[in-house]
Amino acid sequence: MVVQLPNYILERQQEFNQVLEAYINRINAPQRLKDSMLYSLEAGGKRLRPILMMTSCESYGGNAESVLPTAIALEFVHTYSLIHDDLPAMDDDNYRRGKLTNHKKFDEATAILAGDGLLTHSFTIISTDPTLSNEQKVFLIQKLSEASGPEGMVAGQLLDIQAEKSGVELNELEKIHRLKTGQLIIFAIVSGAYIGGATTKQLEALNKFAGYLGLIFQVQDDILDVTGDPDLIGKPVGSDENNFKSTFPKLLGLEGAKKQKQLYVDKAKEALRHANIKNSLLEEFTDYLSDRSY
Ligand code: GRG
């Protein structure tokens, strides 16, 4: 099947955005809390994780619509992580996606609570999805809590904060990003395929594939930070003396980071071959994420 990926992505984005607001409106919470949650949910995210979940489900003959509640739960967790990541105690950012960060638009207490609300409500959404069996609900809640919790994204965030002070080698940097960025991407792909009817063996192959996809996404994010920042163009990589954060270009140089990304692309595609998928969507996605410019 030949698919025009950009069009496919746009359609899936629209499908997702149409149902998102209804999920917020349904929450019985103080208006300010709902406003704060909605502000960050609708602040222009790419919806990469929900789209990957839909794609993965469709790759096994499932219906993309069937993953929408779980995809919304995942976007809630992703959005919570960004709100908390921007707080003064973490990255202390004033802007995200060109808009004021949540704590700047509202206040710190509201931003913390909006993040808490998004995280916890994600489990309400999955556990009350009438289209899932109890067995499916337990599987999905277990995987999502593992991916986002102290053995997943939260661990990656802590290791990343520590690494800012000490610097790290390549294997440690990979570990940080496998946890911090990779786990939610793995959840997106594995749970989409699970709902779509994939076998345990196929899910294992996809787990490996998605781990590499997360690394591809992160290396490209780091590369775009260098090539997209006018203040850094022409300067040696790593020359912004106020930023000790470890990145792939700082560790390997820009060309080295590009080579490393290609290595991950090759490994991702190799893992994908064992997932027995009849269409080429996830393979196309791999190249798309590797070459993305935003
Ligand atoms: C606070 C527990 C906790 C975790 C935060 C994911 C994360 C962990 C922090 C984000 C820091 C960051 C900018 C990482 C780079 C890669 C990344 C996850 C970017 C944001 O994801 P996109 O590009 O975001 O999918 P959009 O804006 O499109 O939703």
Nearest-CA neighbor of 113 among 55, 27, 206? Answer: 27
Distances (CA, A) of 119 to 47, 76, 82: 17, 6, 11
Q: How far apart are CA 93 and CA 101, in angstroms?
A: 7
118 contacts 80 by C-beta, under 8 angstroms: yes
Q: How far apart are CA 253 and CA 230, in angstroms?
A: 18
Choose which residue among 46, 83, 85, 90 to substitute to test ligand 1 binding: the one with the highest number of ligand atoms within 8 A of its C-beta: 85
Q: What angle do CA 284, 11, 128 make, to 5 degrees?
A: 100
Domains of the chain: 5-291 (1.10.600.10)
52 contacts 185 by C-beta, under 8 angstroms: yes
10-residue block means of pLDDT along the chain (294 residues)? 79 94 91 96 94 96 96 98 98 96 98 98 98 98 98 97 89 97 98 97 97 97 84 54 76 96 98 92 95 87
Closest ligand 1 atom, residue 115 Cα:
1
63 contacts 49 by C-beta, under 8 angstroms: no
Q: How far apart are CA 126 and CA 274, in angstroms?
A: 29
Question: In 3-state terms, the chain is what percent helix, strand and coil (to 5)?
Answer: 70, 0, 25
Q: What is the pLDDT of residue 236?
A: 54
Listing DSSP states for 37-68 in one string gives: HHHHHTS----HHHHHHHHHHHHTT--GGGGH
85 CA to centre of ligand 1 in angstroms: 8
Which tokens hold the place of 74? 């995942």
Closest ligand 1 atom, residue 83 Cα:
1
Residue at token pair 């192959």: 205
Q: How far apart are CA 48 and CA 247, in angstroms?
A: 21
Which tokens hold the place of 86? 């921007």
* Three-class secondary structure of residue 69 per DSSP: helix
Q: Which residue, judged by its Cα, is nearest atom 18 of ligand 1?
A: 181
Choose which residue among 93, 148, 176, 181 to substitute to test ligand 1 binding: the one with the highest number of ligand atoms within 8 A of its C-beta: 181
Which tokens hold the place of 256? 């080295």
Q: What is the pLDDT of residue 279?
A: 85
110 CA to centre of ligand 1 in angstroms: 20
The ipTM (two decimal places) reads 0.91
223 contacts 261 by C-beta, under 8 angstroms: yes
Residues touching ligand 1 (Cβ under 6 Å) are: 45-46, 48, 81-82, 84-85, 97, 153-154, 157, 180-181, 218, 221
The pTM assigned to this predicted structure is 0.94
Q: What is the pLDDT of residue 1?
A: 46
184 contacts 145 by C-beta, under 8 angstroms: no
Q: What is the pLDDT of residue 229?
A: 60
What is the helix (H) or strand (E) element at residue 100, kind and residue range? strand 99-100
Q: What is the pLDDT of residue 234?
A: 52
Q: Provide the 10 A C-beta neighbour count for residue 259.
A: 12
Choose which residue among 13, 46, 80, 82 to substitute to test ligand 1 binding: the one with the highest number of ligand atoms within 8 A of its C-beta: 82
Closest ligand 1 atom, residue 43 Cα:
27
